[in-house]
Amino acid sequence: MNRQLPSFGTLAFKAALTHTVTYFLMGFLALTLFDYRNLYADESVRQLMRQVSEPIVMAGPLFQPLRGLLFAVAFYPVRDKFFGERRGWLISWLLLAILGIINTFGPSPGSVEGLIYTVLPGRFHLIGLPEVLLQSFLFSGLLYYWVNHPRKKWLTWLMVILFVLIVGLITLGIVMGNR
């Protein structure tokens, strides 16, 4: 497949916006559907997870452009596989899901190491998996599409508008909440 591979700047820009938007949307859905407010207040996880009302948790999406940039750093050397092949989005998602979620080097919730080395209840390991697996799936698919369709200006505008709205509303919420 002969596709124009993205420059690092293009990939960094698109990865930062795509990650931030998909992270926020999936986080908002999970917070609502899985009742994270009560889940994280549970006695068995309270010492591990910050409460959703804490300012640093509310500011979480503001840190996601940096994480998107780190994804771009990791993706750039293998961009021919991720963006130059027909199923490149699937390759990137499988790597994110397997290396970044299920098979992490540390004992994070939902990972093999987490199941072995933490005292968290099994349900806690499972309840967050749909959120992170779906978010990484959306991130991989949307980033692949956006990179491979650079002339779709509507998508660029949509992503920029969503990004600005997310960052702006969260910033406003934090500022107003600290008054």
Interval 27-54: pLDDT, tens: 999 989 988 888 888 887 788 888 888 8
Residue 137 inside a domain? The answer is yes
Q: What per-residue confidence (pLDDT) applies to 2? A: 57
Q: Report the pLDDT averaged over residues 84-91.
A: 96
Residue 58 inside a domain? The answer is no
Spell out a b/e string for 16-49, using b for 16 or more CB atoms within 10 Å of the CB, else e: bbbbbbbbbbbbeebbeeeebeebbeeeebeeeb
Q: Report the pLDDT averaged over residues 132-141.
A: 98
Domain that holds residue 25: 8-49+65-177
pLDDT band at 65 (very low <50, low <70, confident <90, very high): very high
**Residue whose token pair is 């369709």:** 149
Q: What is the mean pLDDT of the chain?
A: 93
Q: Give the span between the Cα atoms of 79 and 88, in whole angstroms.
A: 9
Residue 132 inside a domain? The answer is yes
Q: Report the pLDDT averaged over residues 131-160.
A: 97
* Segment among 91-95, 116-120, 138-142 with least mean pLDDT: 116-120
Q: What per-residue confidence (pLDDT) applies to 44? A: 78
Residue 57 inside a domain? The answer is no
Residue 59 inside a domain? The answer is no
Residue 144 inside a domain? The answer is yes
Q: Give the span between the Cα atoms of 34 and 110, in whole angstroms.
A: 15
Q: Which amino acid is at 102?
A: I
Q: What per-residue confidence (pLDDT) applies to 86? A: 93
Q: Is the pLDDT of residue 161 over 90?
A: yes
